[in-house]
Structure 1
Amino acid sequence: MTQLSHPHRTRILPPSPITVSEKNRRQEKQNALAMRCRVVFERLRPQLIDTHYNCYIAIDPESENYFIDPTLKGITQKIRDAYGNPDRVKLTIFRLNDTGTCGRLWV
């Protein structure tokens, strides 16, 4: 049996410099954003579900503006076209179906 001359590494990246309290603060902020977007989504869904069933909808809770596209790639491109790649714009993406579930993305 050959012995390795270096110790076995289990991580590719160093440990995260973010503290547990900072992670919790960020998670709470994300959850608050999702809840604000969900309120707008629930108000819009009855109007849009028949004509855009199973399409993606990205909602900005501040302005209540939204984008609709049948593909995830299309919706993300519409977001980039409208907002660029800023650090502060936060949207939540839903699916126009019975549950609205497609996961959450912060763009």
Structure 2
Amino acid sequence: MTYLNPTRTVRRGRLHAKRTGSPEEIAQWDAEREAFYQRCKPIFDRLKPELIKTHYNWYMAVEPDSGDYFIDKDDMVATKMCRQKHPNAIPFLFRINDTGACGTI
């Protein structure tokens, strides 16, 4: 009989990886990310009251330069739709709920 390993493998992505660089570089990266978030947040806040009624817990990928947004149940599909229309842009992903957060803390 084969026994399954009861421990789960920890998923390691970009956010979980240790960032390397000087403290100044890390601070600059954090500041750029916060500035990008501040450009995307008004688009999300403007649309959230309408979308929360019909698309609760769906994902919304926002491209701030054009103001375009893409909605889908799957986060990867929403991101892919944004990348198809704007191949050189990086979208910011929100979850259509009260907080806009995609994950758990």
TM-score by length of 2: 0.70
| Paired positions, count | 85
2:99 corresponds to 1:99: yes
Mark the CA change 1:42 to 1:48 in structure 2 (over 3 Å): closer, same or farther. same
Give the alignment partner of residue 64 of structure 2, picking from 61, 65, 70. 61
The letter for the 2-side match of 1:92 is F
TM-score by length of 1: 0.69
| Residue of structure 2 in register with 1:29 after alignment | 32
Give 1:82 shift: 1.6
What are the Cα deviations for residues 75-96 of structure 1, in whole angstroms up to 9, with x where unaligned? 1221232223x3xx23211011
Structure 2 CA distance, aligned partners of 1:26 and 1:55? 28
What RMSD, in angstroms, separates the aligned Cα atoms of the two structures?
1.8
2:96 corresponds to 1:72: no
1:82-93 matches, within 5 Å, as 82-84=85-87, 86=88, 89-93=89-93
Identity of counterpart residues, as a percentage? 38
Query: Unaligned stretches of 5+ in structure 1?
Result: 1-14
| Residue of structure 2 in register with 1:7 after alignment | none
Runs of 4+ that moved beyond 6 A: none
Which entry has the higher C-alpha Rg, 1 or 2? 1
Structure 2 CA distance, aligned partners of 1:100 and 1:79? 18
Give 1:55 shift: 0.8
3-state secondary structure, aligned to 1:53: coil
